[in-house]
């Protein structure tokens, strides 16, 4: 019997025993070990965020842990955050400056190497090929092993900047290896996309040792969290503790991790 026939036979047997979804999940997990160990051997990650604070909020504990291990962490901020306030007396230019400074301070706490800014107006990030190509160029120039991005398929996500950021980041990762796109920048293959702000996590990263550093970084975003800080801390602790229980640790952050091979025309991405 040929090896592929043996594998198919084994899979058919497992489908009968455990059901189609479970059998396929087990198979894909074996084929793509990076789903369960997405940061193994990684030297550089790029976190794409809609606004200044999203990488810290969605993945700050994990990014601090990676930075502490010597991984280079780079942020790409899509918008200027100039409308993220409930204060009617605030001016957009001033808020953009405040939020840039806050993110730079928070980044130092996390251990971020560089923060890149595309500068689109807050709440008005366009979903266009031009925006996607700008992200693609950053990916090719930075050459990360892993790209973090907000999950654009999060149900009930009302903020368009979040949806657009997740979509253009995903598309840029997919198109980055194609040499006929943006010819002047050398193609690059991203191994893994890690979606934060997801309701369908398949990977939980232990942040027990860096959770307090995440909180310290978020405390630097005073324009966003100072007035509601106790509530923010409580919510983050409850969620991190729940994710930690899944992994058997004190605190964890959750991601939907997809290897490059599963981000286009592969129904298995829904199963893993």
pLDDT tens series, the chain, 272 aa: 455 567 789 899 999 999 999 999 998 999 999 999 999 999 999 999 999 999 999 999 999 999 999 999 999 999 999 999 999 999 999 999 999 999 999 999 999 999 999 999 999 999 999 999 999 999 999 999 999 999 999 999 999 999 999 999 999 999 999 999 999 999 999 999 999 999 999 999 999 999 999 999 999 999 999 999 999 999 999 999 999 999 999 999 999 999 999 999 999 999 99
Output the pLDDT for position 1.
43
Output the pLDDT for position 225.
98
Burial 150-167 (b: 16+ CB within 10 A, else e): bbbebeebeeebbbbbbb
Rounded Cα distance, 80 and 235, in Å: 26
Output the pLDDT for position 160.
98
Output the pLDDT for position 6.
75
Rounded Cα distance, 6 and 24, in Å: 16
Output the pLDDT for position 2.
55
Report which of 201, 142, 198, 197 is spatially closest to residue 172, judged by C-alpha positions. Answer: 142
Name the CATH topology of 43-263.
Rossmann fold (3.40.50)
Output the pLDDT for position 195.
98
Structure pTM?
Answer: 0.96
Output the pLDDT for position 149.
99
Residues 80/99, Cβ–Cβ less than 8 Å: yes
């Amino acid at each position: 019997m040929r090896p592929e026939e043996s594998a198919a036979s084994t899979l058919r047997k497992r489908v009968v025993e455990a059901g189609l979804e479970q059998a396929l999940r087990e198979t894909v997990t074996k084929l793509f070990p990076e789903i369960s160990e997405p940061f193994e051997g990684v030297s550089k990650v790029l976190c794409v965020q809609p606004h200044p604070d999203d990488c810290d909020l969605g993945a700050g504990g994990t990014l601090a842990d990676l930075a502490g291990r010597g991984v280079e962490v780079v942020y790409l901020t899509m918008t200027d955050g100039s409308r993220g306030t409930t204060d009617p007396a605030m001016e957009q230019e001033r808020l953009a400056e405040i939020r840039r400074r806050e993110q730079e301070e928070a980044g130092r706490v996390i251990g971020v190497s560089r923060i890149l800014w595309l500068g689109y107006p807050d709440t008005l990030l366009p979903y266009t090929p031009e925006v996607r190509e700008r992200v693609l160029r950053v990916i090719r120039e930075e050459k990360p092993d892993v790209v973090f991005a907000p999950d654009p398929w999060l149900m009930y996500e009302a903020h368009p900047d979040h949806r657009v950021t997740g979509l253009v980041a995903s598309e840029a990762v997919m198109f980055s290896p194609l040499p006929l796109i943006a010819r002047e920048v050398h193609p690059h293959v991203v191994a893994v996309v890690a979606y934060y702000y997801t309701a369908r996590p398949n990977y939980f990263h232990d942040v027990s040792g860096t959770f307090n550093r995440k909180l310290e970084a978020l405390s630097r975003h005073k324009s966003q969290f100072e007035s509601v800080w106790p509530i923010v801390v409580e919510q983050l602790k409850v969620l991190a503790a729940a994710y930690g229980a899944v992994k058997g640790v004190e605190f964890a952050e959750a991601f939907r991790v997809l290897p490059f091979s599963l981000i286009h025309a592969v129904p298995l991405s829904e199963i893993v």
